[in-house]
Amino acid sequence: MPMMTRPVTLKDVANRAGVSTSAVSRAFTDGASVSDKMRRKVEKAASDLGYSPNALASSLTTGRTKLIGLVSNNFHNPIFLQVFDLFTRKLQDKGLRPLLMNLSDEQDALTAVRRLKQYSVDGVIVASSTLPPEFSKAFRDAGVPVVNSFGRFSTTPDVHVVGVDNSECGRMAARELVARGYASVGFMGGPETATSTQDRFRGFSQELAKHPDVARRHSFASDYSFDAGRAEMQRLIADGPLAEAYFCGDDVLSIGALSALADAGLNVPRDIGIIGFNDMEMARWENINLTTIGQPIEQIIHSSVELIVAMLDDPNRYPEVRLFPCKMVERGTLRPAPKP
């Protein structure tokens, strides 16, 4: 039968040590004015009693909760497991605690802001490649330090963004396909509302505009998921002549597409080329072996955490965009470049 013991408070420790509460408080604060003797006495009493300070109570006076809102709506893309893993670890390393907020049902920025303000989070990380910049702006407008990771950047940012230039990634994919000599190429995006899809598509189209001889087409899957990619590719197969190669907006879409192609008896890369995006763990599985464009997830997250920490000290820090290069990861789903 577990006893319901009242938690040990500062006052209990003060009583036991026979000192004032301020002394105890100071003993637990680095750099406070306390003698060694006092500190030892307090620490003794505290450990006797099993005391640990209440972070929430102290936040009342210090104005710091060390709570960071981690907001996302990407709970279906396997890549985000890694994203959560890294964010939680790196935040923990800095002594911060992530307060998770799942936006899958509720996308309203103001509701999200209100909910997180109730818990007086010190800052917020919006980890999403689909939410518009306005979403993150709502936090800034509410006076909450915010970093938008994996989000759309602006050259005149009013909110901190850390990620990649998705339109450059689109260009990179297009360049690669053109270099491989494909005469017709397709873009198979995720949902058209996702900023990452829009940006990758824009870059892809820009690059192709330089090559009027290459035929192009595009379509959008309903979702960043295996099923959506598979369904979309099945539709393309049914609807008529395929492009020679496709840039899929995400690896998970690519893998769905590959499965549809295999079912249709089409060989990749002989009959058709596929290039994905994200370089998720599965992409390098030998039975998938997907050529793709990878983004440096760990660096992006590391940098995001660094930035939010910096903002805790200077909430009005001048807005900044941090971009990292994407990398082509060549595997087995594109045909080799033609010999010149």
Q: Which residues bind a second copy (CB under 8 A)?
A: 1-5, 7, 52-57, 59-60, 65, 67, 70, 75-78, 80-82, 84-85, 88-89, 92, 97-102, 104-105, 114-115, 117-120, 140-141, 143, 226, 230, 255-256, 258-259, 262-263, 281-282, 285-288, 315-316
Please name the residues in contact with 62: beta carbons below 8 A apart, sequence gap of 6 or more.
none
Q: Which of 167, 166, 188, 165 is nearest to 261 (CA)?
A: 188
Q: Which of 212, 213, 233 is nearest to 221 (CA)?
A: 233
What count of other Cβ atoms lies within 10 Å of the Cβ of residue 316?
8
Angle at 246 between CA 242 and CA 247, to 5 degrees: 160
The residue count for binding DNA (CB under 7 A) is 27
Chain Cα centroid distance, residue 223: 17
Q: Residue 85 binds which one of a second copy, DNA, none, with CB within 5 to 8 A depending on kind?
A: a second copy
Per CB under 7 A, the list member of 29, 102, 104, 222 interacting with DNA is: 29
Q: Residue 21 binds which one of DNA, a second copy, none, with CB within 5 to 8 A depending on kind?
A: DNA
Stretch that binds DNA, among 15-23, 73-81, 200-208, 238-246 (CB under 7 A): 15-23
Q: Which of 164, 186, 158, 192 is nearest to 274 (CA)?
A: 186
How far is residue 318's CA from residue 312's CA, in Å, rounded to a whole number?
13
Per CB under 7 A, the list member of 44, 47, 57, 263 interacting with DNA is: 57
Compute φ and ψ for 215, nearest 5 degrees.
-70, 150
> Binding mask 61-100 vs DNA (x if CB under 7 A, - otherwise)?
xx--------------------------------------
Residues that bind DNA (CB under 7 A): 6-7, 9-11, 19-23, 25-26, 28-29, 33-35, 37-38, 51, 53-54, 57-58, 60-62
